[in-house]
Structure 1
Amino acid sequence: MENYRTGFIGEGEFLLMLLPEIPKNWVVLADLNLSLPAGRMQIDVMLISPNKVFHFEVKNLLQNYVYENGMWMCNGREIGNDFFIQMKRERGKLVENLLSIGAEFQWYRS
């Protein structure tokens, strides 16, 4: 339960930083829980601009993490549940669901 509380706080802090910086005509959606044709998914924050959609997975990390020798480490130990794996999985679900409803889009990576 503590992880959910920490995550919720992190998402709130992210929105407090983000909202003053975005144009007024953009739509901000937060903490989306969707049941879609290709399966359920949860999205922390989504921004919708007139010509682009931005998908954010927010992590509120309470410990120090280091990327070393091709793996994430915390306190000198390898992390078994890589949070980048979760982000890639959610990105894949988003793309799969967009394709399932016939959406046409271009995929950009930052």
Structure 2
Amino acid sequence: MASPTTDRINALISTHDVVLFMKGQPAAPQCGFSGAVVQILSRLEIPFHSVDVLADPQIREGIKSFSNWPTIPQLFLKGEFVGGCDIVREMAASGELTAMLADKGITAGAL
């Protein structure tokens, strides 16, 4: 049976096309890795929903179990876990992130 935290995470990633679990808010990231992913999404003009894991310890720990990924930030596209900062950075540099966004029907400026 899913925990209430897992249910909340599922609700977030199924409600929003692009979800970034991060430390802080997009306008004021609380770590450089979160800030780097915000910059990448902003540069691509991709609107996203952010979740400040520092404001919610249950989500902070729960997302790590949910994705089986130990670090924050974590990016989800249409419910699919993409990765953390290094993976998102590499995908952005290679063009793979733009291709994945297009494959999923996520376009710049679209919500």
Same fold (TM over 0.5): no
Question: Under TM normalisation by the shorter chain, which class is it?
Answer: under 0.3
TM-score between the two structures when normalised by the length of structure 2 = 0.27
Structure scoring higher RCO (CA < 8 A, sep ≥ 6) equals: 2
TM-score between the two structures when normalised by the length of structure 1 = 0.27
